[in-house]
Amino acid sequence: MAFELPTLPYAKTALAGQGMCEETLELHHDKHHQAYVTALNGFVEKDASLQGKSLEEIIQLTNNKPDMAPVFNNAGQHWNHVLFWENMSPNNGGKMPAALEAKITSDLGGVDKFKEAFKTAATTQFGSGWAWLVLGTDGKLKVTKTPNGSNPVATGDGRALLGLDVWEHSYYLDFRNRRPDYVTNWLDKIANYEYAEAHMKAA
């Protein structure tokens, strides 16, 4: 069965007041994410070894295989964007629920230190990529970054609770070249920490 572009869990205008305009979401979801899904389905259609595999299996199967890089990049980007849309909230963006805050304080030294570490990861990822809050295989939270379409499924770092897209297409209309401002705004006003907490508890 072909992979599908998920519907956005909110209207394209929903985050405009929080620093992500309708045009950003329209291009990012309808054009960029759709292109990854279309390309991935094209590769799967032509390669029997990929057919019937889950998205996670395709990512792991093609990771670090130079001849499979186009498949890996598009599969990874599909996985990353599915999470990214869920990682933003028009209602409770930036609100830190109690259990996640306690875990962040215990593992990362507090919310301010977490945001600082996340900003550093997001702004030092050279070129395109992602910053992550991950529940590690050791049960501790950690902040990581990956280039291009890679992600914690590929690196085996653990369960991704939050992923922030730092490709230029995610922020150029709203913040021009100011990636640090995009990251700060996202952490303070857009990030869906309730989603992160729910997935931390489900682990």
Q: Which residues bind Mn ion (CB under 5 A)?
A: 165, 167, 170
Which of 31, 39, 45, 109 is closest to 76 using CA atoms?
A: 39
When computed from its CA atoms, the radius of gyration of the chain, rounded to whole angstroms, is 16
Q: How far is the CB of 50 from Mn ion (least distance, A)?
A: 22
| Gap between the Cα atoms of 126 and 146, Å rounded | 10
Q: How far is the CB of 187 from Mn ion (least distance, A)?
A: 17
Secondary structure letter of residue 68 according to DSSP: G
Please report, for residues 92, 134, 152, 154, the alpha-carbon distance to residue 71 in angstroms, rounded to integers and kept in the order given: 35, 24, 17, 13
Q: How far is the CB of 33 from Mn ion (least distance, A)?
A: 7
| Nearer Cβ to Mn ion (96/182) | 182
| Nearer Cβ to Mn ion (133/200) | 133
Distance separating the N- and C-terminal Cα atoms of the chain: 27
| Nearer Cβ to Mn ion (167/193) | 167
| Nearer Cβ to Mn ion (150/170) | 170
Q: How far is the CB of 150 from Mn ion (least distance, A)?
A: 13
